[in-house]
């Protein structure tokens, strides 16, 4: 059973002095301060709190990029065409449907968009997503997703943490807890902020009861300070002087208490923090990218949303290039009222979904293409999903209410059947009826692709062992290559 | 083995025989087939089918069981599942092959599995060894056995402190227990900590703040033998003690000021609970008293009164029940409620009993002596606790002026009645003068404007008595009589129609003027325990009018003062109609709400059943309830600040934007259920009073009749025996100013009303805190497998059967009983769990390290005798928390140094035996408070509403339009910073403040680079360095050295060593050089000292206490 590590026994004072004063830790810091390249510090990084850990079995992928479409993308307008909706437009649903969030249920509402078969696989995709259409042969579309909750915050928590409430670790937290990360100068679980936070708040990226190192770190690429407190407020020289002074005093302290692993680790964290101050700005600095790359991602797009989301996607690629384990992209929206759940079209489906699709379509397709071109796609899993789908019947006159009973998402990357469609909803796109999958199944599958057994990844808290998948979840074998 | 009695063994034999499927009698399956079934078929059935089609299924689907051959052959509702030998005719096979696939619901079986099932049917569906899956005997739940075999359930047995060899070392009994164990391992305790380290450790442990340089010096220089004891006494007696330890307690009850999820609605006035804890701990209220208050503080017959503040402290205890996380507008309110109760059970049982009772929600506990029935015994116990805001002032305070107001109001009534009786004469005269259009009466300019208005309005009013007058005043003789007859008939018919409509269309749920009043529960100064009779009124607190009108029978909050508060709630009922309508009046953001299950934070949409009246006269409000049919609900009428969620977008932060004199009122008389859209029609009209008795024969007689009825009504009103009909009639004349209301017209009333208003002015507005009110509900059913949609047998309310006996039979006192069971001196867990927590907070680890779990999966106590010794001492000392803390911190064990002995590290690397003190990292609050204390910014102001959260990311707004709070939290201690679920102060978060989710008796002390970044770069830390730098530069110091000395002392409780001083001087010199500052100017340069202060804040010793 993978479980948290027992506290390290204390070092003897002699060992401590050897390891911390003259050992790699100090050498590294001093080398750094002397301005040497930090390649020399690799050896010291190995023991960091996020040091890579071996998976349970051979992984298919190393990293995850999770494009989260908060608000809920409509399946019948994107990846699950339902011709019957057009035939029966305006008629009542022929079977009993569940209670909805707003209780303004109307009649069958056909998709305003045309579907087209793309690629050799012929996966049908609506005209909302022409660019994603161009990568159809890379996709594994699941049309039979189900969630358990009707409401955004609960849905968001559930989709991230497997539980509908605060206090449980996010999937990214579980992944870094299980595997660590391959870059010690950046957080292992990065959330790229687009401006809004999905409803429920930042705890949907929270570490829950796992150690704080596993919480999602919000990086805002466009902001002056992309990561909280990462920007030094003084000259490098002043800061080095301070760190160096503190380091000297700290070592006297460490010696006085006879060595203490926690204090030693806290000292070491200054090294990492110091390097993060360089690594994070370097990460978000896109000047080194070619014009062609920028264009591919839509950074030159006249649509500011496309450009902003394009920047997120490009940075996501840079993050996985740097070995960051789990990257989540939040949505971008120009509609200030919809910042937190842009896809939530209770009214004006046509306008809202079109604007959101324009924002994500080109950048996400570019991300998959670019990852592939760089040989990274096979070691990365890209997930594209919202917390639930939407009703095939209308809400009010031109919207769709929430529908967790059947919706679509797609995956791309290593270990998956490509150009593949899995599962089905009924003829109206309302209930998943074939190969019904739960969010727990998705989580189990993500962990499986990363080489982790979801039943083994546990953490003991408050009297019991917790899992991301609670007591549920089955790996979706049918989509594995 | 002993032989069983004959009848028993015969019975067992019969059971065994009947359990064998009949088919097997005829034809024994061959071994290979059985093996195939066991290896290939049963696993598929078990994994894919048993969840719905077995004895263990939460509810059997389609009546089909696939866990025995009998079941397979018999089949379900649609017929046999399997026809042996014939797959095509077997429904089971048809269903797994369909397109779309019908079974299993999780999706199409893999081909190999489907093929195995087909083969199995082909070979005759052989079955295996036993038709019922065998239960592993080791897993069988045996409560008594589990209780017997686990230490924590056993009674507390205090033993004398053990003998030790080193007799000089122990100072307290505690030390004997510790030393004895160390000696057993051949270890000696570490030498005592030096005085600098000791005072710093003690100061953080007891106050959460560093000692001031003066305190350090005084202690170090105090050579009296009881110097340390005096210090302990001073710290324990300081108000900062409560601020420190209340936060520990808040971790135990997952303190939060909001409910989380979308919108993150506030728990109004949650901070009062925090203040309650601080006061209680500072006053060393006995632990069991606090436990009682937490569970049933609203029900205690002798609550704990805080005379100084004039508040009922006990009432605040249950506030923690309210700090649950709610889903946003859940479509299944019952599911949300089940989760909330689960969280309440989890918190109460972990916090006070160290048990994970919540693990028994779906099944008997996997490891502990806790049955699923026990869980639902507690579920039922908490089920009746409805969320509400409670007034916390003492009755004396709340009833200020009540007797006087009652007396004055009675005099006002008498006086008014007299004035009105006089006035009836005038009115009668006026009406008489107006008969036959002679011109002298109501139509003339001499007639009062009010009468002229009333006559004008009567054409569009429903049932105005003046309408009869206007219609008939010109008529004489037969014409008059015919007119009167016609009028009477038309009204009788009209009323008859209305009554018939009402009767056929509405089901009266409650008549609050009558008998159903008693079935409601309520609280607040404003609600009387009896329904109000028709004719009640409220004396206006300002203005020219004495009153607005009089009311029909019902329930009102403002009969003495609109500052009085009130909440009244209906019995729980199951919604089974499309509409619920209610007749109510009220003003100033009072609210009527339909609370579905206990979801008391509705915002709109599917939870739009809220109504805020803004009229002093009764009217009907209607709620559409179709969506909620089948759910249970109750109706609540509440004055403004008693509503659990404020209206619309106002949010509780909006209070400041509203009139904030605390006035608000509400009254209600009827609640009806109906399926048609129309609201009930009014049948009680003013004109009805004229239809009774002898008919008038002329306009004069009609005028007399009106006067007579009015006189009767006023007299009845004066004597307080008004009928409903009279009340409506009289109210008409009052509200139309046909009877005087204004002080100008009522000169004799002036002094009385003035006196009334003067007394009313001193009526205090109640202070509210989150709380609960008991609805007195029946026992609840167990939920099979924890599924909220799957009720099973009833679980009588009570405590854990391993700890108590009798069920709680009286529904009104279930929580009181639970409180007593937990506070019971014989409860072995209550004292042990708490002393262990105290130990944990002082030593870094508990004697039982899993402080929240004393169950089988928790850790065993390292010093069981010590734990029981302390538990016994705790009980013997009247459950005084301070006395246990004093005992612990005055032990030699507490005062040891933190340097580990090499031998000890080998024998006991995790220091369970406490050979030395544990180095501990300060928690988030103590780090922040230290920064403020050291910089000089700390504002020691206690209590009050929380300071808004400073947060760096995400939207700036929080509910109610509040913006993010000040960077330095106004310099207030961390305990006064707001705690919300969807946003956390990033500084707290990075230093491991727990999320408000469940009991957290032991915090993490993680090490993450984000902490270093915060201390290096966070504007808050830099701000405090700047603050300190400025103060230092402006202050006096003889030299750089003395200032360094002082800064070390202030921040670390000790002076620098020689090498540290040198290093500091070098650092300062290089700073001066970098900033191009002459040496002579260093002392007065704020920037340099800010730099240096910032460096001190980055020392590990600043946050790690040895």
- Which residues of chain B neighbour A434 with C-beta distances below 8 Å? 100-101, 107-108
- Which residues of chain B neighbour A163 with C-beta distances below 8 Å? none
CB B951 within 8 A of CB B1038: no
Q: Is B226 left (phi over 0), alpha (psi -120 to 50) or beta?
A: alpha
B1099/A253 CB distance under 8 A: yes
- Smallest CA–CA distance, residue A200 to chain B, in Å, is 4
Query: For B1060, which of A103, A252, A435 is closest by C-beta distance?
Result: A252
CA distance B243 to B281: 9
Q: Residue B133, Cβ neighbours under 10 Å: how many?
A: 14
Is the confidence at residue B442, as pLDDT, over 80? Answer: no
Q: Residue A302, Cβ neighbours under 10 Å: how many?
A: 7
* SS3 readout for A346-396: CCCHHHHHHHHHHHHHHHHHHHHHHHHHCCCHHHEEEEEECCCEECCEEEC
Q: What is the pLDDT of residues B928-946, one digit of tens each?
A: 999 999 999 999 999 999 9
CA distance B952 to B975: 20
A153/B261 CB distance under 8 A: yes
- Which residues of chain B neighbour A339 with C-beta distances below 8 Å? 955
DSSP label at residue B914: -
Nearest Cα to B764, choosing from B888, B907, B663, B621?
B663
Work out the pLDDT band at A48, boundaries 50, 70, 90: low
CA distance B557 to A442: 55
pLDDT confidence of residue B28: 52
- Which residues of chain A neighbour B984 with C-beta distances below 8 Å? 202
pLDDT confidence of residue B727: 96
Q: What is the pLDDT of residues B1037-1056, one digit of tens each?
A: 889 999 999 999 999 999 99
Q: What is the pLDDT of residues B501-535, one digit of tens each?
A: 999 999 999 999 988 899 999 999 998 889 999 99
Q: Compute the half-sphere exposure of residue A102: CA atoms within 13 Å on the CB side of its CA.
A: 19
- Output the average pLDDT for chain B: 89
Select the more confidently predicted residue: B452 or A113: A113
Rg (CA), chain A: 24
Among chain B residues, CA nearest to A98 = B331
Rounded to an integer, the average pLDDT of B3-18 is 43
pLDDT confidence of residue A223: 82
Q: What is the pLDDT of residues B962-1020, one digit of tens each?
A: 467 899 999 999 999 999 998 888 899 899 999 899 999 999 888 888 999 999 999 99
Work out the pLDDT band at A19, boundaries 50, 70, 90: very low
Which range scores top for mean pLDDT: A185-189, B1026-1030, B1036-1040? B1026-1030
Query: For A233, which of B331, B999, B1017 is closest by C-beta distance?
Result: B1017
Q: What is the pLDDT of residues B609-663, one digit of tens each?
A: 999 999 999 999 999 999 999 999 999 999 999 999 865 434 334 443 455 788 9
- Smallest CA–CA distance, residue B680 to chain A, in Å, is 25
The separation between CA A231 and the C-alpha centre of its own chain, rounded to angstroms, equals 24
Query: For A201, which of B857, B982, B1057 is closest by C-beta distance?
Result: B982
CA distance B58 to B677: 39
- Smallest CA–CA distance, residue B1049 to chain A, in Å, is 15
Among chain A residues, CA nearest to B1103 = A263
Q: Which residues, in sequence order, are bridge partners of residue B671?
A: B510, B582
Nearest Cα to B724, choosing from B888, B536, B863, B468?
B536
Best to test chain B binding among A249, A274, A427 (most B CBs inside 10 Å): A249
Of all residues in chain B, what percent carry a pLDDT higher than 70? 91
A276-285, A380-389, A460-469, B766-775: range with lowest mean pLDDT = A460-469
Query: For A229, which of B328, B954, B1014 is closest by C-beta distance?
Result: B1014
- Which residues of chain A neighbour B629 with C-beta distances below 8 Å? none
pLDDT confidence of residue B22: 36
Is the confidence at residue B692, as pLDDT, over 60? Answer: yes
- Smallest CA–CA distance, residue A151 to chain B, in Å, is 7
Q: How far is CA B359 from CA A164, A472, B362, B399, in A?
A: 17, 16, 7, 46
- Report phi then psi at A220, rounded to 5: -105, 100
A212/B989 CB distance under 8 A: yes
Q: What is the pLDDT of residues A374-405, one digit of tens each?
A: 999 999 999 999 999 999 999 999 999 999 99
Query: For A212, which of B101, B1008, B1099 is closest by C-beta distance?
Result: B1008
- Which residues of chain A neighbour B990 with C-beta distances below 8 Å? 212
CA distance B759 to B345: 45
| DSSP notation for A55-99 | -SS--S-SEEEEEE-TT---GGGTT---HHHHHTTTSPPSS----
Q: What is the pLDDT of residues A246-302, one digit of tens each?
A: 999 999 999 888 888 889 888 988 988 999 999 999 999 999 999 999 999 999 999
pLDDT confidence of residue A111: 97
E strand map for B204-310: 305-306
- Long-range CB contacts for residues B452-461, cutoff 8 Å, separation at least 24: B453/B736, B453/B737, B454/B736, B454/B737, B454/B738, B457/B736
B981/A203 CB distance under 8 A: yes
Cβ pairs A/B, distance under 8 A: 264
Q: Compute the half-sphere exposure of residue A88: CA atoms within 13 Å on the CB side of its CA.
A: 16
pLDDT confidence of residue B932: 98
Q: Residue B84, Cβ neighbours under 10 Å: how many?
A: 18
Best to test chain B binding among A258, A455, A463 (most B CBs inside 10 Å): A463
A453-467, B136-150, B965-979: range with lowest mean pLDDT = B136-150
Q: What is the pLDDT of residues B466-495, one digit of tens each?
A: 888 888 888 889 999 999 999 999 999 999
Cα-Cα-Cα-Cα dihedral sign, residues A183, A184, A186, A187? positive
Rounded to an integer, the average pLDDT of B353-380 is 94
Burial class for A323, CB neighbours closer than 10 Å (0-12, 13-18, 19+): middle
- Output the average pLDDT for chain A: 88
CB B1086 within 8 A of CB B1029: yes
- Smallest CA–CA distance, residue B1020 to chain A, in Å, is 10
CA distance B858 to B868: 17
- Which residues of chain B neighbour A424 with C-beta distances below 8 Å? 100
User: Which are the contacts of B76, defined by CB distance < 8 A and separation ≥ 6?
Assistant: B53, B61, B62, B63, B64, B65
- Which residues of chain B neighbour A177 with C-beta distances below 8 Å? none
ipTM score assigned to the predicted complex: 0.84
Query: For A242, which of B110, B262, B1098 is closest by C-beta distance?
Result: B1098
CA distance A279 to B373: 56
Rounded to an integer, the average pLDDT of B255-273 is 93
Q: Compute the half-sphere exposure of residue A392: CA atoms within 13 Å on the CB side of its CA.
A: 34
Nearest Cα to B852, choosing from B632, B1036, B1001?
B1001
Of all residues in chain A, what percent carry a pLDDT higher than 90? 74
- Which residues of chain A neighbour B1063 with C-beta distances below 8 Å? 245, 248-249
A254/B1100 CB distance under 8 A: yes
Nearest Cα to B345, choosing from B327, B372, B316?
B372
Nearest Cα to B63, choosing from B72, B125, B128?
B72
Q: Compute the half-sphere exposure of residue B771: CA atoms within 13 Å on the CB side of its CA.
A: 28
User: Which are the contacts of B316, defined by CB distance < 8 A and separation ≥ 6?
Assistant: B272, B273, B276, B293, B297, B390, B392, B769, B771
Of all residues in chain B, what percent carry a pLDDT higher than 90? 70
Rounded to an integer, the average pLDDT of B573-580 is 97
Work out the pLDDT band at B70, boundaries 50, 70, 90: confident
A120-134, A396-410, B122-136, B1051-1065: range with lowest mean pLDDT = B122-136
CB A384 within 8 A of CB A409: yes
- Report phi then psi at B131, rounded to 5: -80, -25
Q: What is the pLDDT of residues A212-242, one digit of tens each?
A: 889 899 898 878 889 989 999 999 999 999 9
CB B369 within 8 A of CB B802: yes
Q: Which residues, in sequence order, are bridge partners of residue B783?
A: B791
- Smallest CA–CA distance, residue B913 to chain A, in Å, is 14
Q: Which residues, in sequence order, are bridge partners of residue A124?
A: A117
**pTM for the full model?**
0.86
Which range scores top for mean pLDDT: A61-75, B59-73, B450-464? A61-75
Query: For B106, which of A436, A460, A463 is closest by C-beta distance?
Result: A436
B1013/A464 CB distance under 8 A: no
The two three-digit tokens of residue A472, written as one number: 């549920």
Rounded to an integer, the average pLDDT of B769-797 is 94
- Which residues of chain B neighbour A12 with C-beta distances below 8 Å? 902, 905
Select the more confidently predicted residue: A32 or B187: B187
| DSSP notation for B164-197 | -S-TTS--SHHHHHHHHHHHHTT--PPPBPPHHH
Is the confidence at residue B380, as pLDDT, over 70? Answer: yes
């Amino acid at each position: 059973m993978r479980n948290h590590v027992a506290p390290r026994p204390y070092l003897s004072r002699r060992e401590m002095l050897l390891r911390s004063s003259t050992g790699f830790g100090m050498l590294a810091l001093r080398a750094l301060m002397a301005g040497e390249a930090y390649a020399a510090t690799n050896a010291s990084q190995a023991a960091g709190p996020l040091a890579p850990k071996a998976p349970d079995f051979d992984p298919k992928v190393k990293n995850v990029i999770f494009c989260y479409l908060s608000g809920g993308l409509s399946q019948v307008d994107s990846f699950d065409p339902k011709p019957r909706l057009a035939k029966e437009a305006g008629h009542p649903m022929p079977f009993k449907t569940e209670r909805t969030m707003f209780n303004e249920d109307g009649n069958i509402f056909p998709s305003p968009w045309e579907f087209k078969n793309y690629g050799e696989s012929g996966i049908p995709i609506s005209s909302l997503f022409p660019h994603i259409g161009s990568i159809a042969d890379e996709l594994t579309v699941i049309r039979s997703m189900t969630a358990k909750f009707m409401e955004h915050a609960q849905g968001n928590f559930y989709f991230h943490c497997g539980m509908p409430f605060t206090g449980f670790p996010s999937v990214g937290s579980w992944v870094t807890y299980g595997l660590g990360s391959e870059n010690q100068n950046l957080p292992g679980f990065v959330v790229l902020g687009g401006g809004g936070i999905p409803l429920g708040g930042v705890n949907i990226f929270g570490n829950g009861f796992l150690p704080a190192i596993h919480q999602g770190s919000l990086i805002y690429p466009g902001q002056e300070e992309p990561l909280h407190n990462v920007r030094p407020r003084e000259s490098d020289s002043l800061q080095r002087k301070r760190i160096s002074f503190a380091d000297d005093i700290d070592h006297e302290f460490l010696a006085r208490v006879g060595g203490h692993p926690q204090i030693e680790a806290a000292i070491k964290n200054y090294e990492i923090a110091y390097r993060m101050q360089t690594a994070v700005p370097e990460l978000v600095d896109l000047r080194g990218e070619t014009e062609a790359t920028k264009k591919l991602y839509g950074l030159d797009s006249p649509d500011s949303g496309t450009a902003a989301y394009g920047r997120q996607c490009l940075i996501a690629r840079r993050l996985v290039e740097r070995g960051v384990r789990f990257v989540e992209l939040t949505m971008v929206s120009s509609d200030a009222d919809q910042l937190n759940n842009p896809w939530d079209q209770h009214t004006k489906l046509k306008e809202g979904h079109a604007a959101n699709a324009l924002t994500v379509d080109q950048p996400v397709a570019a991300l998959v293409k670019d990852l592939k071109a760089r040989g990274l796609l096979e070691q990365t899993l890209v997930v594209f999903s919202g917390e639930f789908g939407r009703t095939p019947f209308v809400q009010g006159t031109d919207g769709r209410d929430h529908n967790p009973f059947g919706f679509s998402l797609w995956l791309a990357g290593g270990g998956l059947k490509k150009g593949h469609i899995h599962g089905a909803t009924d003829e109206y796109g309302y209930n998943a009826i074939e190969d019904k999958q739960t969010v727990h199944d998705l989580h189990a599958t993500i962990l499986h692709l990363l080489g982790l057994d979801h039943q083994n990844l546990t953490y003991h808290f408050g009297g019991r062992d917790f899992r991301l998948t609670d007591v549920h979840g089955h790996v979706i074998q049918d989509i594995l290559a | 083995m002993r032989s069983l009695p004959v009848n028993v063994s015969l019975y067992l034999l019969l059971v065994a025989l009947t359990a064998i499927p009949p088919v097997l009698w005829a034809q024994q399956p061959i071994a290979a087939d059985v093996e195939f079934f066991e290896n290939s078929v049963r696993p598929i059935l078990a994994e894919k089918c048993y969840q719905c089609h077995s004895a263990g299924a939460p509810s059997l689907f389609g009546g089909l069981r696939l866990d025995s051959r009998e079941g397979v052959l018999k089949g379900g509702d649609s017929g046999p599942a399997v026809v042996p030998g014939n797959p095509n005719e077997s429904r089971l096979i048809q269903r797994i092959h369909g397109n779309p696939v019908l079974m299993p619901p999780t999706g199409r079986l893999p081909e190999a599995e489907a093929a195995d099932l087909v083969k199995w049917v082909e070979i005759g569906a052989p079955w295996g060894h036993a038709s019922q899956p065998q239960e592993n005997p080791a897993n069988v739940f045996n409560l008594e056995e589990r209780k017997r075999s686990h230490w924590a359930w056993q009674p507390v047995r205090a033993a004398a402190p053990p003998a030790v060899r080193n007799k000089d070392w122990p100072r307290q009994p505690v030390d004997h227990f510790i030393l004895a164990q160390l000696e057993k391992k051949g270890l000696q305790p570490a030498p005592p900590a030096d005085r600098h380290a000791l005072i710093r450790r003690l100061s953080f442990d007891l106050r959460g703040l560093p000692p001031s340089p003066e305190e350090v010096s005084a202690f170090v220089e105090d050579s009296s033998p009881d110097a340390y004891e005096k210090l302990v006494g001073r710290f324990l007696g300081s108000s900062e003690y409560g601020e420190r330890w209340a936060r520990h307690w808040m971790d135990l009850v997952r303190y939060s000021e909001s409910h989380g999820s979308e919108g993150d609605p506030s728990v109004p006035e949650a901070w009062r609970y925090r203040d309650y804890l601080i006061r209680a701990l500072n006053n060393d209220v006995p632990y069991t008293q606090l436990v009682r208050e937490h569970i049933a503080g609203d029900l205690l017959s002798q609550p704990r009164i805080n005379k100084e503040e004039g508040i009922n402290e006990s009432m605040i205890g249950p506030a923690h029940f309210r700090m649950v996380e709610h889903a946003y507008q859940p479509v299944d309110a019952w599911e949300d409620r089940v989760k909330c109760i689960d969280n309440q059970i989890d918190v109460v049982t972990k916090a006070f009993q160290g048990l994970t009772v919540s693990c028994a929600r779906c099944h008997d506990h996997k490891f502990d002596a806790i049955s699923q029935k026990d869980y639902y015994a507690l579920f039922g116990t908490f089920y009746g606790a409805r969320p509400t805001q409670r007034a916390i002032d003492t009755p004396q305070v709340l009833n200020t002026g009540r007797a006087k107001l009652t007396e004055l109001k009675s005099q006002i009534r008498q006086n008014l009645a007299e004035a009105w009786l006089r006035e009836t004469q005038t009115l009668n005269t006026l009406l008489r003068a107006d008969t036959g259009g002679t011109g002298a009466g109501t139509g003339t300019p001499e007639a009062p404007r009010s009468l002229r208005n009333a006559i004008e309005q009567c054409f569009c009013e429903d049932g105005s008595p003046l309408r009869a007058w206007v219609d008939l005043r010109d008529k004489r003789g037969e014409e008059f009589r015919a007119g009167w007859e016609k009028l009477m008939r038309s009204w009788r018919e009209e009323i008859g129609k209305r009554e018939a409509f009402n009767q056929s269309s509405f089901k009266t749920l409650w008549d609050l003027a009558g008998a159903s009043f008693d079935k409601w529960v309520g609280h607040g100064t404003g609600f009387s325990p009896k329904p109000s009779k028709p004719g009640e009124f409220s004396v206006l607190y300002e203005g020219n009018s004495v009153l607005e009108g009089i009311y029909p029978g019902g329930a009102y909050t403002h009969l003495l003062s609109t500052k009085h508060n009130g909440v009244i709630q209906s019995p729980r009922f199951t919604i089974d109609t499309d509409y619920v309508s209610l007749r109510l009046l009220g003003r100033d953001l009072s609210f009527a709400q339909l609370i579905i299950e206990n979801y008391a934070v509705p915002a709109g949409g599917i939870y739009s059943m809220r109504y805020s009246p803004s009229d002093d006269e009764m009217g009907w409000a209607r709620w559409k309830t179709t969506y909620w049919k089948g759910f249970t609900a109750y109706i609540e009428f509440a004055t403004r600040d008693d509503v659990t969620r404020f209206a619309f977008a106002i949010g509780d932060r909006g209070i400041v934007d509203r009139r904030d004199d605390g006035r608000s009122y509400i009254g209600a008389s009827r609640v009806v259920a109906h399926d048609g859209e129309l609201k009930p029609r009014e049948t009680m009209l003013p004109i009805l009073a004229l239809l009774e008795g002898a008919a008038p024969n002329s306009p004069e007689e009609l005028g007399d009749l009106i006067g007579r009825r009015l006189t009767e009504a006023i007299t009845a009103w004066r004597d307080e025996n008004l009928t409903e009909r009279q009340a409506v009639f009289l109210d008409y004349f009052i509200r139309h100013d046909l009877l005087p209301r204004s002080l100008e017209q009522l000169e004799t009333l002036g002094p009385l009303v003035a006196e009334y208003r003067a007394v009313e002015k001193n009526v205090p507005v109640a202070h509210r805190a989150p709380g609960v009110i008991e609805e007195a509900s029946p026992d609840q059913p167990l939920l099979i497998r924890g599924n909220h949609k799957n009720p099973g047998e009833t679980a009588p309310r009570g405590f854990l059967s391993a700890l108590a006996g009798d069920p709680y039979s009286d529904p009104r006192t279930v929580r009181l009983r639970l409180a007593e069971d937990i506070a019971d001196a014989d409860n072995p867990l209550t004292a042990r769990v708490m002393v262990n927590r105290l130990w944990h907070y002082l030593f870094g680890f508990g004697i039982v390290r899993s402080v929240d779990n004393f169950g089988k999966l928790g850790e065993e106590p390292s010093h069981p005798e010590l734990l029981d010794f302390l538990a016994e001492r705790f009980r013997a000392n009247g459950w005084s928390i301070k006395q246990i803390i004093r005992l612990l911190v005055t032990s030699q064990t507490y005062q040891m140094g933190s340097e580990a002995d090499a031998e000890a590290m080998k024998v006991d690397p995790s220091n369970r035996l406490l050979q030395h003190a544990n180095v501990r990292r300060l928690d988030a609050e103590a780090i922040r408070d230290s920064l403020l204390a050291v910089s000089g910014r700390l504002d020691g102001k206690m209590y009050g509403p929380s300071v808004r959260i400073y947060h760096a990311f995400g939207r700036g707004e929080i509910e109610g339009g509040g913006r993010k709070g000040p960077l330095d939290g106004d310099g207030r201690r961390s305990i006064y910073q707001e705690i919300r679920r969807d946003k956390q102060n990033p500084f707290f978060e990075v230093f491991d403040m727990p999320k408000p989710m469940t009991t957290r008796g032991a915090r993490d002390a993680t090490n993450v680079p984000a902490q270093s970044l915060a201390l290096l770069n966070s504007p808050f830390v830099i701000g405090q360095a700047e603050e300190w730098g400025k103060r230092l530069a402006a202050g006096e110091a003889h030299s750089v050295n003395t200032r360094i000395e002082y800064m070390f002392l202030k921040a670390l409780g000790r002076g620098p060593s020689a090498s540290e001083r040198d290093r500091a001087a070098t650092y300062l010199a290089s700073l001066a050089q970098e900033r191009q500052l002459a040496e002579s100017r260093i002392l007065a340069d704020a920037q340099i000292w800010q730099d240096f202060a910032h460096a001190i804040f980055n020392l590990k010793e600043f946050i790690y206490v040895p």
